[in-house]
Amino acid sequence: KIMNQLLGVNQIEKQLAEYFGIKRCVVVAGDSDEQPKVVDEFGEALNEALMQLLPETQNIIAVMGGTTMATVAEHLTNLETDTRHNLFVPARGGIGEAVTVQANSISAMMATKAKGNYRALYVPEQLSLATYNSLLQEPSIQEVLGLISQANCVIHSIGRALHMAARRKMTEEELLMLKQKNAVAESFGYFFDEMGKVVYKVPRIGLELKDIQDIPIVIAIAGGHSKAKAINAYMKNAPEQTWLITDEAAANVILKGV
Ligand code: G3H
């Protein structure tokens, strides 16, 4: 609180962007753990960022899942122009989330709100490796994977490692392994330790972490004091073009030193 009065939200945004070595931070007042409306404001901030960042061309926007993404999706507005068209795709195949917060559903919702188009990637959970591999050969899957690989924009959230592992019903062994490796953050189905190093990857199709490096527009959205550690860990090695949309509560914990 005191720091905010001294510095103001703009200063916090600048400090945080500098601290992570990224292009831009947008900091919304409040704490999304306690005030759900803060997540709605993340959505408005995302909409403004997209208005500003999406070029006047055919864009392919790859999106991840989660509850934050599901809420922000509702806040997009028409992002089409005569020369700008947007196709939303899921960034990665099913990683164990409930239908309402799966990347497929979020991409459909975003497309509807933004008056763009979407393509789904249908890959059921819990497949044997053999079935999974043969499914990958399907032309319809290959086509969507081709679109995903051409994405010029990625939008994703950041979660707490063990919370995400439990929510996605990962096995006891996996949970134990994540604890042993000190996993604190999760994004894109990858798990990171405090230094931002990948310690585990859920094997799924779609975008790989290394692909994100070369994507011109990357927007990460996560807030709440409970996620400060996770955000700090993931953002350490995030690509420098990343825009982070977060809240004051997370920003303050991070800048104080998590
Ligand atoms: O990868 C991160 C998670 O999708 C975050 O999920 O928005 O429900 O906390 P959440």
Residue-wise pLDDT for 215-225, tens only, equals 999 999 999 99
For residue 15, how far is its CA from the centre of ligand 1 (angstroms)? 24
- Residue closest to 22 by CA, chosen among 245, 171, 210: 245
Ligand 1 environment, Cβ below 6 A: 64-68, 157-159, 164, 186-187
The residue length of the chain stands at 258
Closest CA to 164 of 189, 145, 201: 189
pLDDT tops 90 at residue 206: no
**Which of 40, 63, 69, 231 to probe ligand 1 with, by most ligand atoms within 8 A of CB?**
69
Q: Are 62 and 93 in contact (CB under 8 A)?
A: no
Instruction: Determine the average pLDDT of the residues in 163-191.
Output: 94
The tens digit of pLDDT for each residue in 141-153 reads 999 999 999 999 9
Expressed in angstroms and rounded, the spacing between residue 83 Cα and the centre of ligand 1 is 33
pLDDT at 98: 80
Sequence-ordered list of residues with C-beta below 8 angstroms from that of 248, at least 6 positions apart, any chain: 4, 9, 12, 27, 28, 29, 30, 31
Residue 111, SS3 per DSSP:
helix
Q: Which atom of ligand 1 is nearest to the CA of 65?
A: 4
- Rounded to 10 degrees, the C-alpha dihedral 95/99/102/107 comes to 150
Q: State the CB neighbour count (10 A cutoff) for residue 176.
A: 10
The average confidence (pLDDT) of the chain is: 93
> How far apart are the C-alpha atoms of 156 and 32, rounded to whole Å?
16
Nearest-angstrom CA–CA distance, 142 and 126: 20
Tell me the per-residue pLDDT of 22-62, one tens digit each, with 9 for 90 and over: 999 999 999 999 999 999 999 999 999 999 999 999 999 99
In ligand 1, the atom with minimum distance to the C-alpha of 69 is 7
Query: ipTM of this predicted complex?
Result: 0.97
CA distances from 216 to 26, 54, 224 (A): 18, 10, 27
Look up residue 124 and give its amino acid: P
Please give the Cα distance from 89 to 173 (Å, whole number).
32
Say how many Å lie between the CA of residue 72 and the centre of ligand 1.
12
pTM of this prediction?
0.94
Query: What is residue 94's predicted lDDT score, i.e. its pLDDT?
Result: 67
**Rounded CA separation 233/144 (Å):** 31
State mean pLDDT over 222-248: 98
Q: Whose CA is nearest to atom 9 of ligand 1?
A: 159
CA of 175 relative to ligand 1 center, distance in Å: 17
Residue burial 76-102, b: 16+ Cβ < 10 Å; e: rest? beebeeeeebbbbbbbbbbbbbeeebb
* Gap between the Cα atoms of 124 and 109, Å rounded: 20
pLDDT at 180 over 80: yes
Cα–ligand 1 centroid distance for 227 (angstroms): 10
